[in-house]
Amino acid sequence: MSESGKDVDQHQYHDHPDQQQPPPPPHQYGTFQGGHSYQPPVMGFPQPTPPPGAPGGPPINAYAHGYHSVPGYAVTERSTVREPRLPCCGIGVGWFLFIIGFFLAAIPWYLGAFILICAQYDPREKPGYVACLIAAILGTVAVIFGVAS
């Protein structure tokens, strides 16, 4: 191959020394590497959509067959599930122990605190047991200060 052939090949890959090269793009700080047309990936659920009937949005009758909160899982149309009534006139054992603790020298409060810490209970009764725990702590502090003075 001749010298002129080598020059032609070299000019394919290298700029001419007399041509002005474009300035380098400005340095971007941080981890963002996208260009001007870069759109970040859509994250999260649910994805934002235009309102029904708008151009590009779902059709007007999109929810005619029922609402599915998670795609792929069927929503059953049944009657509401009723939980059983709480014991002790419907207020629960925790609140019952809290109320009778005022009349029985705070002993039921300690029992409620023990149930809260050591036993299984209905989650609906937790506020009553927490009230017993707080009352037992305050009662203990009051007795300690009363004995100390």
At residue 62, the pLDDT reads 47
Whether residue 94 contacts residue 125, with contact meaning beta carbons closer than 8 Å, is answered with: yes
Per the document, the length of the chain is 149
Residue 92 CB coordination number (10 Å): 21
Domain boundaries of the chain, sorted by first residue: 93-148
User: Alpha-carbon torsion 9, 12, 17, 19, what sign?
Assistant: positive
**For residue 134, which phi and psi values (nearest 5 degrees)?**
-65, -40
CA 128 to chain centre: 27
Question: Is the confidence at residue 48, as pLDDT, over 70?
Answer: no
146 phi and psi, to 5 degrees?
A: -70, -40
Q: At what angle do helices 126-148 and 93-101 cross, to 10 degrees?
A: 20
pLDDT for 22 equals: 75
Contacts 24+ apart (CB under 8 A), 52-61: none
Please write the tens of the pLDDT for every residue from 68-113. 566 666 656 666 677 888 888 888 899 999 999 999 988 999 999 9
Interatomic CA distance for residues 97 and 135, integer angstroms? 11
Is the pLDDT at 63 greater than 60? The verdict is no
